[in-house]
Amino acid sequence: MIKNHIKIAFRSLSRNKGFSFINITGLAVGLAVCIMIMLYVTHEMSYDTFHKNGKRIYNLRASIKTGGNVMNMASLSYAAGPIVQQNNPVVESYMRTLAYFRPTVVSNPKSPENKFAESKLLFADAGFFDFYSFKLLTGQTSEALKAPFSVVISRDMAKKYFGDANPVGQTITIKTDSAYTYHITGIAENAPSNSSIDFNFVASTKSLLAMKEASMYTGSQEISFGSFNLNLLLKHTADTAELRHNLQAMAKKDKIFDETFYTLSPIEDTHLHMNFGDSSNTKYLKIFPLVAVLILLLALVNYMSLSTARATLRAKEVGVRKVSGASRSSIATQFYVESALFAGISFVLGYCLCYLCKPWFLDVLQLKIDNSFLYSPTVLLCLFALLFITVLIAGSYPSLVLSAFKPVVTLKGKMSKQAGGTAVRKVFTTLQFAISVGLIICGIIIDRQLYYFRHTDTGINRENVVMLPVSTTAVKNYGALKKDISELAGISKIATSHYALYKGYDMFFVAGKNKSDQSVGVANLMGDKEFTSVLDLKWKYPPTQITDIVGRDKVVINELAIEKLHLPANPVGTFLSDGNNKFQVVGVLKNFNFTSMADEMKPLALFTLADTSSLWKRTGCNIFVKIAAHTNLPSLLNKMQGIYKKYDQDTPFNYTFMDDAFNQQYKAEDRLAAIFSLFTYITVILATMGLFGLAAFTIEQRTKEIGIRKILGASLAKIGTLLSIDFLKLVFLSVIIASPIAWWAMHNWLQNFANRIAIPWWVFTLAGVIAMLTAIITISYHAIKAGLANPVDSLRSE
């Protein structure tokens, strides 16, 4: 019986090629989008689930409150691990890791001329490969990281530096603050793409302790700010309550800060809930699945609408089968098999389309997904569930509608008046265009918000400013390096800052006027006397001489700091204190955005240091180069690279245009805009395909009516208007439905930004016009074709 149903299904498919193409293609596109988003969501939700002890591993972070200001400590001090274990018997072991954030140069001593800038250097305690479930291909997990300057390299790095040879037992040179020779004690499989801990090189923590810069990372002997990520392995999963209680008791004993709070979270939640850095991939984890559901719903509605629209062509077939003794269940089964076959073909095509588009999709999200993950049991189960749901929904409504036909009615040719046809298809069409219009509105508003970010005056002139980080080697000759670059033709100004702009800042706590007042946290930047000039910052109350601002006991603030610190209207000459030192206010800058426009503007304290300051050589710095207009940029950058290599031949010459650094802050929104644009195009195409097929069928049903109207003198324009008006009413209704929903969604989304646009009224008009024009163009093809047809042909049977 099933075999016979399949034969009939294939005959129906081949007999109605146009409608079959629209049905299958539309559903395939919807499924492709749904599969891609499903892969993305499943991958994001699966982070760190591969660790065998994952249910017992918890990440420890802390927050401190001092002077009314709460600060999160994503990384803790070196001493934090031992202290927590000593005070908590439920902790079986701990693991400290430090992701080295400075430039790293790696080479094979046997070919020292081949040097590469590398990232993902991780320092870890000795039991790293026992604590986690990263696969060690060669070497012993218990011995790999015991000795100072021992390192385990990833499979990719082993291939890159040693080819097919076994590197275990050999050495490799890794330059951090200085060049050190590391003994390779193992090769690890590349970290999975769904791991929050990533590495190319895992070096022993004892190596870090032996480095020149060790005191920067291991100085504090208390639980405090630090550079180490701390994970705890509990003896039992049920020990979390006791550990939280003990941590709370430890926090109360801590007298360093006003208050200390500890945060304990499963390692499997680290990626989604504890990411204080770039969370752009997780930021819209709830939005994309919703859009995927809408697109799949649109594709299914499209399929069911067209399937039931052609019901009259199968009505007599159903009537004859029922008169011949076929039951409703057998007829429903037949149509269900047909729908299942169509859905199955669509699913295969959708999967192939997803496979072809996956590289683009992952590139837009800047996401890597291992091929092995694509065939994991979780993904295969999700794919099967999606196929099952698609078949279930796609086949249910058409089979119920078609099998319910009454043989007496259908054989008399009165199908068009049966319930369940026209009204349902009108609802389907309205829903399709409502989804399309809603996404069009959202896409335009997202684009406008990003345009606002990039074109609003931030108070900084970012044009033609290059930021050059100075390595730990080159910084030893900082003065000579800066002088040589400043003498190049095409350089109009040059300045120095502790941090690259938009890459971070320190905090400066200003003490209250008396002991009862709480201190106020103020953002702290450090630069030289040319810093304000290179950025073209505007003065509210300028200093008498620019040299007056230089000195560790002098500070320049912004206008917002006057308000937050309750200073006089003109505070120049007043003093600020951090509790130990006093700083004279020597100038006030007009407010400018030195962080993302998505965040609120912050009060600022700018300290100006002399070029001879030891800070630049001790902690490194960034040189800001203002390039004159009409300068040959490639040539100038090559000359700057030559000068840089003069003072540091190992570290790659690296630079960032300030405009690029500014735009980089909005990459999450850029990704959302790109994906939303794609989704919008897809929804419009699907809605258009559905309308195209439905219009063709509707006009086909009214062929005789059109012929009679033409004989009675109706013009082509009148016939086109007559046929279009019903569909345009539905599109207009969809605009009315979608507009308030889209406004509500975008209003809530905009609340995430401190600086945001007001939603303009013309967005809804533009979306409505786009929908209307799309519908008119789609319908016009069939309307003109019907209007030009010879009425004799349509009325011949009469």
In the chain, what are the domain boundaries? 1-54+282-420, 69-257, 444-454+662-798, 472-650
Residue 569 gets the label, from left (phi > 0), alpha (psi -120 to 50) or beta, of alpha
Rounded Cα distance between 387 and 394, Å, is 10
CA distance 496 to 476: 15
CB atoms inside a 10 Å sphere around CB 329: 11
| CB contact at 8 A, 73 and 222 | no
Residue 453 tokens, joined? 């970010």
Residue type for position 144: A
pLDDT at 765: 92
Q: Is the pLDDT of residue 747 over 90?
A: yes
Give me the mean pLDDT over the 645-669 stretch: 86
Three-class DSSP category at 442: helix
Q: How confident is the model at residue 403 (pLDDT cuts 50, 70, 90)?
A: low
What pLDDT band is residue 389 in, cutting at 50, 70 and 90?
confident
The confidence score (pLDDT) of residue 579 equals: 73
Residue 632: count of CB within 10 angstroms of its CB: 12
Structure confidence by residue, pLDDT tens digits, 35-44: 988 888 888 8
Residue for token digits 């709370």?
248
The pairing of strands 554-558 and 582-589 is parallel
Arithmetic mean of pLDDT, 699-718: 73
The predicted model gives 487-503 an average pLDDT of 90
Alpha helices by DSSP H, listed for 474-546, are 478-486, 531-534
pTM of the model: 0.78
| Predicted confidence (pLDDT) per residue in 309-331, tens digit | 665 566 666 666 666 666 667 76
Separation CA 321–CA 323 (nearest Å) = 6
Predicted local confidence at residue 419, as pLDDT: 41
Q: Which of 409-418, 527-536, 614-623 has the lowest mean pLDDT?
A: 409-418
Cβ partners under 8 Å of residue 138, min gap 6: 166, 168, 186, 187
Amino acid, single-letter form, for residue 179 = A
pLDDT of residue 650 exceeding 70, the answer is yes
- pLDDT at res. 416: 47
> Residue 695: is it exposed, middle or buried by C-beta count within 10 angstroms (0-12/13-18/19+)?
buried
Instruction: Assess whether pLDDT exceeds 50 at residue 200.
Output: yes
Alpha-carbon gap, residue 155 to 215, rounded angstroms: 32
CA 295 to chain centre: 20
pLDDT of 591 > 90? The answer is yes
Longest CA–CA separation in the chain, Å = 104
pLDDT value at residue 387: 86
Q: Is the pLDDT of residue 411 over 80?
A: no
Locus of tokens 């190049």:
488
Specify the pLDDT at position 604: 92
What are the residues facing 61 on neighbouring strands? 263
End-to-end CA distance of the chain: give it in Å, rounded.
39
Measuring CA to CA, how many Å separate 389 from each of 42, 280, 425, 666? 17, 30, 21, 36
pLDDT of residue 673: 82
Contact 500, 656 (CB under 8 A): yes
Reported confidence tier of residue 70, pLDDT bands at 50, 70, 90: low
Give me the percent of the chain exceeding a pLDDT of 70. Answer: 84
Report which of residues 540 and 668 the model is more confident about.
Answer: 540
Token reading at 580: 């130990």
Contact of 161 with 174, CB cutoff 8 Å: no
* DSSP 3-state of 585: strand
Report the run of H or E that residue 509 belongs to, with start and end. strand 506-510
Task: Give the highest mean pLDDT range of 210-214, 240-244, 271-275.
Answer: 240-244
Position 770 pLDDT exceeds 50: yes
Averaged pLDDT score across all residues of the chain: 82
Strongest mean pLDDT among 149-158, 464-473, 683-692:
149-158
Q: What percent of the chain stands above pLDDT 90?
A: 23
Q: How far is CA 356 from CA 36, 362, 370, 582, 675, in A?
A: 11, 11, 16, 63, 16
Q: What are phi and psi of 656, to 5 degrees?
A: -140, 130
pLDDT value at residue 257:
58
Contacts of 661 (CB under 8 A, 6+ apart): 467, 500, 501, 502, 503
Reduced to 3 DSSP states, what percent helix, strand and coil does the chain have, rounded to the nearest 5?
50, 20, 30
Q: Among the listed ranges 522-526, 736-740, 791-795, which one has the minimum average pLDDT value? A: 791-795
State the average pLDDT over residues 482-492: 90
Average pLDDT over residues 527-541: 91
Q: How far apart are CA 345 and CA 353, in angstroms?
A: 12
Question: Higher confidence at residue 323 or residue 744?
Answer: 744
Report whether 251 contacts 261 (CB < 8 A).
Answer: yes
How buried is 713 (Cβ within 10 angstroms: 0-12 exposed, 13-18 middle, 19+ buried)? exposed
Total residue count of the chain as it appears in this document: 798
Res 422 pLDDT > 70? no
Continuous segment of H or E residues that includes residue 587: strand 582-589
**Exposed e or buried b for every residue in 663-684, given b needs 16+ CB within 10 A?**
bebbebbbbbbbbbebbbebbb
Over residues 264-292, the mean pLDDT reads: 71
